[in-house]
Amino acid sequence: MTKLSVNINKIATIRNARGGNTPNVVQVAIDCERFGAQGITVHPRPDERHITTKDVYDLQQVVKTEFNIEGYPDGRFMQMIKEIKPAQATLVPDPPGVLTSNAGWDTEKHFDFLKEICAELKSYGVRTSIFIETDFHLLDNAKALGVDRVEFYTGPYAEQFAENKEKAVLPYVQAVKHAHQLGLGINAGHDLSLENLRYFKQQVGVLDEVSIGHALISDALYFGLENTIQQYLFQLRD
């Protein structure tokens, strides 16, 4: 069964636009779990433009499913992981000013850095995942790093889906098979939606978790949060 982890960054973005605590990020996380989500994802960026450091510690107290904290592994991020010990830490190669995660790690160029980071995360007892693209060599390096999972960056799939979904998904089918053969767990995220999620899941087969935020929160404006989560869970059914 593929788990749905709801990324609640956009909830914090709306809150921060006006200040105060509306919408309440912690309550939304509780509600997402109550409505069927099997995980909560946050990305506490250094500029705190959506999820803040305080949010992460507040969420630690209430998340009862899998808590996934993603981000660039600087000192602030690593201290947070050490203290909170979430179910999963997902490493992304974002520089501080980037708008959104739009590329995977170059696991050859950054091998030594990531190797040290992964070893530290292992010492905390935290499952480690890295944001990655479909290149087999990058996946081989990921295995050598000692990560538990890879999260495939699905932006290119989403961009090409309407034009040629078979062509769009093929690199992921091949890469997921290779990663599975390496013994890596398989996550996916970025621009997955109600339109393209079911096809992706059906084609790649092996898929442990998807992390979805922007599309899901946008859909919730029309369908309501509970109904939207149920629709996404339906797309993930075998």
Residue from 66, 70, 133, 151 carrying the catalytic annotation: 70
Per-residue pLDDT of the chain (238 residues; tens, 9 = 90+): 999 999 999 999 999 999 999 999 999 999 999 999 999 999 999 999 999 999 999 999 999 999 999 999 999 999 999 999 999 999 999 765 554 556 789 999 999 999 999 999 999 999 999 999 999 999 999 999 999 999 999 999 999 999 999 999 999 999 999 999 999 999 999 999 999 999 999 999 999 999 999 999 999 999 999 999 999 999 999 8
For residue 25, with 0-12 CB atoms within 10 Å meaning exposed, 13-18 middle and 19 or more buried, which class applies?
buried
Specify the pairing of strand 185-189 against strand 149-153: parallel
At residue 189's C-alpha, the angle toward residues 186 and 190, to 5°, is 155
Amino acid at 69: I
Residue from 33, 66, 133, 190 carrying the catalytic annotation: 190
Residue from 33, 43, 151, 209 carrying the catalytic annotation: 43
User: So what CATH class is 3-235?
Assistant: alpha beta
Q: Which residues pair with 163 in a beta bridge?
A: none
Per the annotation, the verdict on 116 as an active-site residue is: no
What pLDDT is stored for residue 64 in this prediction? Answer: 98
Look at residues 184, 120, 188, 127 and name the one whose alpha carbon lies nearest to residue 156: 188
- What pTM value is reported for the model? 0.95
Place of tokens 């069927």: 36
Q: How many residues would you count in the chain?
A: 238
Helix spans in 88-224 (H): 111-123, 136-145, 155-160, 165-181, 197-204, 214-223
Per the annotation, the verdict on 190 as an active-site residue is: yes
Alpha carbon 73 to its chain's center: 15
- The SS3 call for residue 232 is helix
Joined tokens for residue 182: 């390496």
Q: Which residues pair with 212 in a beta bridge?
A: 6
- Whole-number Å distance between alpha carbons of 6 and 63: 12
Spatial neighbors of 98 by CB under 8 A, at least 6 apart, are: none
Tell me the domain boundaries of the chain. 3-235
* Distinct helix (H) and strand (E) counts, the chain: 11, 8
Per the annotation, the verdict on 137 as an active-site residue is: no
What pLDDT is stored for residue 94 in this prediction? Answer: 78
What pLDDT is stored for residue 238 in this prediction? Answer: 80
Query: 134 near 171, Cβ under 8 Å?
Result: yes
Helix, strand, coil content of the chain in percent (nearest 5): 45, 15, 35
Joined tokens for residue 150: 């890879």
